[in-house]
Amino acid sequence: MILLEEAVIIKLKNTQTLLCTIESCTGGLIAHLITNVPGASEVYWGSLVTYDNSAKEELGISSDLITTQGAVSPEVAQAMAEKGLERMENNPFRWNSHSLLKPKALICLATTGIAGPSGGSLSKPVGLCFIGLALSGQKTLIKKVLVSESLTRIQMKTQFAHQALEFIKQVSIE
């Protein structure tokens, strides 16, 4: 049986797509899952964990956006994914110096959410996650995930990471 992260790596290789991740609530778990797969270095550029709001601001997310919409919002997930994609697009890749394929497409996946056990509210409960997916030349996609608040913190993070990987699997990459 093929693991979800293996299926994502196969898809990225088949479409010659280079991936980066910008993670908040998943804390690097997506990067961990991806880099557990042999051959991931051919299609995985890297990750930033922007856990604190100041780290999101360092990425280029407006403090006004974080204040008005909240760090856990579709708008911030979109901005995180787009800023990650922008960093990839502006990076002078050296294709001959490492094992990365010359990509036909770039994709950035971002997560922001509340893994609990505290930090939730009525409008943004524990178990809420927004996933942003920015793909070069296309409109950024947002996925809202809500898992049971009875799950443990690591179970929530795992669910969020799996939902993010599933999102990549489902998106059309041309």
Per-residue pLDDT reduced to its tens digit, 94-133? 544 455 557 888 999 999 999 999 998 999 999 999 999 9
**Which pLDDT score is estimated for 173?**
87
Note whether residue 12 is domain-resident: no
Note whether residue 1 is domain-resident: no
Listed as ranges, residues in the chain with pLDDT below 70 are 92-101
Note whether residue 2 is domain-resident: no
**Which pLDDT score is estimated for 89?**
87
Note whether residue 101 is domain-resident: no
**Which pLDDT score is estimated for 92?**
63
Note whether residue 97 is domain-resident: no
Name the domain count of the chain.
Answer: 1
Q: Judging by beta carbons within 10 Å of its beta carbon (0-12, 13-18, 19+), is residue 123 exposed, middle or buried?
A: exposed
Note whether residue 48 is domain-resident: yes
**Which pLDDT score is estimated for 86?**
94
**Which pLDDT score is estimated for 99?**
52
How many angstroms separate the CA atoms of 59 and 98, rounded? 25
Note whether residue 13 is domain-resident: no
CATH number, domain of 47, equals 3.90.950.20
Which domain covers residue 79, as residue numbers? 18-90+109-118+128-170
What's phi and psi for 141, nearest 5 deg?
A: -100, 145
